[in-house]
Amino acid sequence: MSEQQNFKVTIDNITIEVPAGTTILNAARMIGGEVTPPAMCYYSKLEGSGGKCRTCLVEVSKGSEKDPRPMPKLVASCRTTVMDGMEVKNITSEKVLDARKGVVEMLLINHPLDCPICDQAGECHLQDLSYEHGASGTRYEFDRRTFEKEDIGDYISLHMTRCILCYRCVYTADQLTNKREHGILDRGDHAEISTLLGKSLDNEFIGNVIDVCPVGALTDKTFRFKNRVWFTKPVDAHRDCPTCSGKVRLWMRGDEVFRVTARKDKWGEVEEWICNDCRFHKKETKDWVIEGPSKIDRHSVISQGHYVNTEKPHVLIDKVIGKQPKLLLDIHKVSDVNRRDVDLSKIEGPAHSDDFKKNQ
Amino acid sequence: MKLLLEHAHVEGIRYYDTYRKHGGYRSVEKAFKMTPEEIVEEVKKSGLRGRGGAGFPTGMKWSFLAKPEGVPRHLVCNADESEPGTFKDRYLMEFIPHLLVEGLIVSSFALGSNATYIYIRGEYAWIVDILEQAIAEARNNGWLGKNILGTGFDCEIYVQRGGGAYICGEETALIESLEGKRGNPRIKPPFPAIQGVWMRPTVVNNVETLAAVVPIINMGGDEYAKIGVGRSTGTKLLSVCGNVKKPGIYEIDMTQSVEEFIFSDEYCGGIANGKKLKACIPGGSSVPILPANLLLKTAKGETRTMSYESLSDGGFATGSMMGSGGFIVFDEDQCVVRHTMTLARFYNHESCGQCSPCREGTGWMYKILKNIEYGKGKMSDIDLLWDIQRKIEGNTICPLGDAAAWPVAAAIRHFRDEFEWHVLNPEESQKRNYGLAHYADPIHIPATA
Ligand SMILES: Cc1cc2nc3c(=O)[nH]c(=O)nc-3n(C[C@H](O)[C@H](O)[C@H](O)COP(=O)(O)O)c2cc1C
Ligand code: SF4
Ligand code: SF4
Ligand code: FES
């Protein structure tokens, strides 16, 4: 075998060397920060995923050292591998930003926008995406799409109206269970996630579809309406599980375990799959060995109120534009609630705006 | 000039004996005396371009086929023909099925495919029987099966019926469907030439493309290339529909002017019922519509001819495409808004739904067009439509997104006044049509890019 070859790729004026075969998206993730395109359907742990949502489109302004011609169309960065000497534009391309805005708009025109009653709110990738790339109003003047409600069992709730058809849950079932029991029926804008004849999903690993779902289409029934995620505190814990790794994240309030999920990395992807038993049945502190507070991105609303173990965002904008941007306002300096010295998790019971004043 | 349809009207040509009597299967005999590489070379020399829509040179496509040791390769014939306005493959398969079978045997030999598939549109149910009978006849006469004519070459042809989805005509969706999966287009690369059916190297070609291999081998690639004009070599089948006196299938050598094709008695025979020509979609529903003036002459004022090059002269700003050869003619009584709405509904219904811009955008465009058509439109809707099609085009997995965007773009580009008239005259537009307006006037270059 020849030695592992490295390719040089430049994304938004930042150059990095990556192993041959790396996708543009993964190369951008290695750089991190703003130059990383948003990915709503790609999931590095799911083979064959990606290419569908089109949020990760980028412009290839130089194909490679050997063939410097630019690519004629924008390409899905999650499914396009880098070539040596390739130059890619993400946030430095007007074309990309315009197309991405279009994609976000398309994802939203039929979305119910029922965030106030959606359990995914606070950790929803579509919320993040619209916040960063969307428009403030809609140009869509028609009724939003609805579906007949389907019950898919005791553990998972399906809200088809929120689904963005990323196919992640389909790949998950294909790759984690030996028999997939749900899939996408019909086609086009009437395509829907469904099970055959209303069968319920009960494979012992099927709960993972909840974690891979970027939106609130698949949520944990045992956590339904129990709490907003940002009022619970994420804690890493493990147990000796005969079925899975037993490494999980508990979402707690005081001593109470509200929800169990897999641990996710900074791209929002599951680190290790967990079984249904850990996820749905082990809801007491005594079931678990607590390791400590989880690392949380400081951008996330979940970091609100408990700054313990938050991660500073990786800011690269100065390198991309070649100078320091002028900061108009640092929200952390003026906000009443976003304060580092207040740790919500130490407060008994629900948090209240008074809690912030008290500590001043 | 007729190559494919030369014997189409011979009584009994559907059956083996008659077909053979009229020179059928000669190309197989000739091909078996050549090497597969020589056959590919002849097809390259012929300049044959794919007849399925994109017009990609067939010889070149064949030479891209990967040939890894010990991995079977496949030839797949795309008979899904579902593009509105296109019905030429149906004619070929229904009336001279042996021509396709013959072309498939030669092509399978050239590509090394021992199992060749015809993926046929679900609605063509009765043609399945016709094809299967032709295949059985060919096998009974030694043209298919094991060790054909003692050459050591084995080949079987299987007919697979589709479920009736337009998207399964897209080659990678077709492959998925052939494998028994949901017909979603694959993300390319890898291309079928490297990983196609069951991840094996595969060539997908249109029915007419594969039928054209027969005359190419019979007469030689160089001779075939002399027919036609420029890079539009050989003959092309056109399925004509709409307001002409003689709709139907025509085989042309692409040298005719569009005017001659529409108005001469040899072809369409002019516009029916003494009406005037308003517009035409020259290559199937996906390609841009052209108003009469830009159809008959290019923007430069030259006569437009029925060749690949001439039909696309001027790009999308003032030209169109040969596409799949579905020639749809509109007379002065036809409403462009209504027609565009119909197409938008089609693409909305046929989108596979994998990628967001196509899944959501096609439905959105259809709803807006419905509003405009039924007198509920706003002026800003026209610009919104333009923006939506722009957001779809080029940003999707497969060309269905483009195919949905182009008709809308072309309609607005060339017939914007008709859309505006609908918006400004909601009541009147429900009662009468806009008519000819200036579309038959001397050429004016539209302002919208
Ligand atoms: C949405 C869509 C539908 C298509 N339908 C057909 C079809 O019905 N028949 C066909 O031959 N090609 C169809 N094509 C083109 C095929 O993808 C492919 O290019 C063609 O079969 C190649 O054959 P050719 O090189 O002989 O033209 C379609 C493409 C798209 C994007
Ligand atoms: S349910 Fe969730 S994971 Fe499944 S396709 Fe829809 S959005 Fe994707
Ligand atoms: S462009 Fe449309 S039909 Fe093609 S893959 Fe995307 S959603 Fe499916
Ligand atoms: S993440 Fe690349 S297309 Fe969805």
**Domain CATH number, residue A44:** 3.10.20.740
Query: In chain A, whose CA is at the least distance from the CA of B349?
Result: A188
pLDDT higher than 90, residue A200: no
Q: What is the pLDDT of residues B388-427, one digit of tens each?
A: 999 999 999 999 999 999 999 999 999 999 999 999 999 9
Instruction: State which of B312, B331, B350 marks the end of a domain.
Output: B331
pLDDT score for B266: 96
Quote the mean pLDDT of chain B: 96
**Do residues B427 and B284 share a domain?**
no
Nearest in space to B305 (alpha carbons), one of B268, B260, B240: B260
- Residue A51 included in any domain: yes
Same domain, B204 and B269: no
Is the distance from CB of B398 to CB of B173 less than 8 angstroms?
Answer: yes
Of B353, B355, B396, Cβ closest to residue A187:
B353
Same domain, A18 and A94: yes
Instruction: Give domain status of residue B7, yes or no.
Output: no
Phi-psi map region of A197: left, alpha, beta (phi>0 left; psi -120 to 50 alpha): left
Number of domains making up chain B = 3
The reply to whether residue B356 touches residue A184, judged by beta carbons under 8 angstroms, is no
pLDDT at res. A338: 56
Cβ-based interface (< 8 Å): residues of A facing B: 50-55, 57, 73-74, 76, 79, 99, 102-103, 105-107, 109-110, 139-140, 142, 164-165, 167, 183-184, 186-191
A252-286 tens-digit pLDDT? 988 899 999 999 998 999 999 999 999 999 999 99
> What is the DSSP annotation of B347-397?
HHHH--S-SHHHHHHHHHHHHHHHHHHTT---HHHHHHHHHHHHHHTTSSS
Torsion of CA A238, A244, A248, A251, to 10 degrees: -110
A130 and A97 co-located in one domain: no
Question: Number of helices (H) and strands (E), helices first, in chain A?
Answer: 9, 15
Residues B68 and B209 in one domain: yes
**What proportions of chain A, in percent to the nearest 5, are helix, strand and coil?**
30, 20, 50
Of B289, B312, B331, which residue constitutes the final position of a domain?
A: B331
Residue B363, domain member (yes or no): yes
Position A99 in a domain: yes
Ligand 1 site residues, Cβ closer than 6 angstroms: B 50-54, 56, 58, 61, 78, 80-83, 166-167, 169-171, 204-206, 209, 398-400, 403
Residue position matching structure tokens 């077709």 = B174
Looking at residue A48, its pLDDT comes to 95
Cα–Cα dist B418/B425, whole Å: 10
pLDDT at A305: 56
In a shared domain, residues B276 and B151: no
Same domain assignment for residues B84 and B207? yes
The verdict on residue B439 lying in a domain is no
B325 — pLDDT class (breaks 50, 70, 90): very high
Residue B159 falls inside a structural domain: yes
Q: Residue A50: nearest ligand to its CA?
A: 4
A115 DSSP 8-state letter: G
Distances, alpha carbon B175 to alpha carbons A51, A328, B183, in Å: 18, 55, 8
Q: Tell me which of A326 and B120 has the higher pLDDT.
A: B120
- Shared domain for A11 and A91, answered yes or no, is yes
Amino acid at B130: I
Same domain, A136 and A184: yes
Task: Identify the pLDDT of residue A204.
Answer: 94
Contacts for A272 with CB less than 8 Å, ≥ 6 apart: A244, A245, A247, A262, A263
B445 confidence band (pLDDT: 50, 70, 90): low
* Ligand 2: residue whose CA is nearest its atom 8: A166
Kindly state whether residue B1 falls inside one of the protein's structural domains.
no
Cis amide linkage into residue B189, ω under 30° from 0: yes
Q: Are residues A234 and A217 in the same domain?
A: no
Would you say residue A116 lies in a domain?
no
Which of A3-7, A320-324, B31-35, B345-349 is predicted least confidently? A320-324
**What Å distances lie between residue B390 and A95, A103, A107, B393, CA to CA?**
11, 11, 16, 5
Whether residue B428 sits in one domain with residue B375: yes
Q: Domain range spanning residue B78?
A: 16-227
Tens-digit pLDDT profile for residues A293-302 = 888 776 666 6
Rounded to whole angstroms, the Cα distance separating A265 from A271 reads: 6
**What is each CA distance from B82 to A145, B85, B249, B285, B406, in whole angstroms?**
27, 8, 16, 10, 17
Average pLDDT taken over every residue of chain A: 89
User: Residue A36 has which token pair?
Assistant: 């990383």
Structural domain includes residue B9: no
Is A188 within 8 Å of B391 when comparing Cβ atoms?
no
Peptide bond into B190 cis (omega under 30): yes
CB-based contacts of B399: which residues, under 8 Å, 6+ apart? Answer: B54, B170, B286
Give the helix ranges, DSSP H, for chain A: 24-31, 94-109, 125-133, 168-176, 208-212, 276, 317-321, 331-334, 353-358
d(CA A220, CA A95): 38
Q: List the single residue in A with minimal CA-CA distance to B366.
A: A142
What phi, psi does A203 have (nearest 5°)?
A: -60, 150
| B185 lies in the same domain as B251 | no
Last residue in a domain, options A178, A198, A223:
A223
Q: Residue B113: enclosing H or E segment and its boundaries?
A: strand B113-120
Last residue of some domain: B185, B200, B227?
Answer: B227
Residue B324 has pLDDT above 90, yes or no: yes
Query: Assign residue B396 a region: left if phi > 0, alpha if psi is -120 to 50, beta otherwise?
Result: beta
Q: Which residues contact B236 (CB under 8 A, 6 or more apart)?
A: B51, B208, B251, B252, B253, B254, B306, B322, B325
- For residue range A112-123, what is the model confidence (pLDDT) as tens digits? 999 999 999 999
Q: Give yes or no: residues A297 and A283 share one domain.
A: yes
> Which ligand sits closest to the CA of B208?
1
- Residue of chain A with shortest Cα separation from B351: A188
Q: CA–CA distance from B268 to each of A33, B242, B321, B435 (Å)? A: 62, 10, 19, 22
Average the pLDDT over each of A110-124, B84-98, B432-446 and give the range with the smallest value: B432-446
Indicate if B308 and B383 belong to the same structural domain: no
Instruction: Examine the domain organization and report whether A70 and A95 are in the same domain.
Output: yes
CA dihedral B294, B296, B297, B298 (to 10 degrees): 50
Residue A164 sits in a domain whose CATH number is: 3.30.70.20
Rounded-to-integer distance, Cα A51 and Cα A73, Å? 14
Residue that terminates a domain, selected from A223, A256, A284: A223
- Gap from CA of B356 to ligand 3 centroid (Å): 8
Instruction: Quote the ligand 1 centre to B78 CA distance (angstroms).
Output: 7
Q: Which of B149, B58, B153, B157 is nearest to B101 (CA)?
A: B157
CA B9/CA A357 separation, integer angstroms: 92
Give residue A245's domain range: 229-303
pLDDT band at A4 (very low <50, low <70, confident <90, very high): confident
Lowest mean pLDDT among A134-143, A171-180, B59-68, B260-269: A134-143
Q: Which atom of ligand 2 is nearest to the CA of A167?
A: 5
The ipTM of this complex is: 0.91
Dmax of chain A from CA atoms?
Answer: 65
Strand partners, B277: B331
- With a 6 Å cutoff on the Cβ, whether A213 touches ligand 2 is yes
Residue A195, Cβ neighbours under 10 Å: how many? 18
pLDDT score, position A137: 87
Which value, in Å, is the radius of gyration of the alpha carbons in chain B?
A: 22
Q: What is the pLDDT of residue A342?
A: 65
Q: Are A46 and A171 in contact (CB under 8 A)?
A: yes
User: What is the value of pTM for the model shown?
Assistant: 0.92
Could you give the count of Cα atoms lying within 13 Å of B175 in the half-sphere of its Cβ? 25
* β-bridge mates for residue B239, sequence order: B249, B326
Query: Total domain count for chain A?
Result: 4
Contact A187 B167 (CB under 8 A): yes
Rounded distance between C-alpha atoms, residue B418 and residue B382, angstroms:
11
CA distance linking residue B120 with residue B128, whole number of Å: 8
Single out the residue of B338, B325, B219 nearest to residue B282, CA to CA. B325
Burial of B443 (0-12, 13-18, 19+ CB in 10 A): middle
Radius of gyration in angstroms for the set of CA atoms belonging to chain A, rounded to a whole number: 21
Does one domain contain both B249 and B317?
yes
The answer to the question of residue B179 being in a domain is yes
Q: Are residues A330 and A283 in the same domain?
A: no
pLDDT of residue B104: 98
Q: Give A-chain residues touching B363 at CB under 8 angstroms.
A: 110, 188-189
pLDDT band at A316 (very low <50, low <70, confident <90, very high): confident
Query: What is the residue type of B334?
Result: Q
Tell me how far the alpha carbon of residue A309 lies from the centroid of ligand 2, in angstroms: 30
**Pair B90, B162 in one domain:** yes
End-to-end C-alpha distance for chain A, whole angstroms: 64
**H-helix or E-strand spanning residue B344:** helix B336-350
Q: Is residue B392 part of a domain?
A: yes
Instruction: Report chain B residues touching chain A, CB-CB < 8 A.
Output: 165, 167, 182, 187, 348-357, 359-364, 367, 384, 390-391, 394-397
> What pLDDT is recorded for position A317?
78
Rounded to an integer, the average pLDDT of B276-287 is 96
Question: Using the 8-state DSSP alphabet, how is residue A78 labeled?
Answer: G
Same domain? B178 vs B51: yes
